[in-house]
Amino acid sequence: MSSSKRREPRVPANIPVTFRRTNESPEDLTTERRVHGRLPVKLRVTYQRINEFIQDYTRNISHGGMFIEASAMLDVGTLFALELAVPSLRDPLSIHAQVQWVVHEDDAEQDPENLKPGMGVQFVYRSEQERLKVETIVEALIRRHLGPRAYHQLVRK
């Protein structure tokens, strides 16, 4: 694996995720492209690839996107629709996303930081209303997982 590929740090499920504020300058983000912290969580994701529906699971999620442990990769740059099963919702959450990076099986085997192949996706919003809806649901998911005190300390500092 080339040294120019981005590696995702492995975070054990019992360790709280640290969140970064979004008022950092672009220079502060050059070594770490993520603006939002990630919550390690396994949620069912359904999406379409060519003529088949694929059902996979997330490794983590943030306000801006998620990593999907994918059985069928989409190409970097692909825009697609997905449904995310959120435990607190009766119906899956429909989201549009764009593939930002991919970890292929060979890369995952050679890199101990990447346990399984998959793809990092960024949420894409068609309206401000859609952005607010998705961010509110993700925010509630993170808050519920961390608990109010840890959430306040990590996110609102």
What are the pLDDT digits (tens) for 94-128? 999 999 999 888 777 776 665 789 999 999 999 99
SS3 38: coil
What's the pLDDT score for residue 113?
64
> In terms of pTM, does the model score above 0.95?
no
Closest alpha carbon to 61 in 118, 129, 1, 128: 118
The predicted pLDDT at position 154 comes to: 61
φ and ψ at residue 128, rounded to 5 degrees: -65, -35
Torsion sign over Cα 137, 140, 142, 144: negative
Tokens of 152: 């306040």
Beta strand 65-69 pairing with 79-84: unpaired
Other CB atoms within a 10 A radius of the CB of residue 82 amount to 20
Which has the closest alpha carbon to 117: 75, 76, 69?
69
Residues of the chain with pLDDT below 70 are 1-37, 111-114, 153-157
- pLDDT value, residue 111: 66
Q: Amino acid identity, residue 134?
A: V
Half-sphere exposure of 68 (CA within 13 A, CB side): 27
Alpha helices by DSSP H, the chain: 105-110, 128-146, 148-155
Domain 26-155 fold is Thrombin, subunit H (2.40.10)
For residue 26, which amino acid is it?
Answer: P
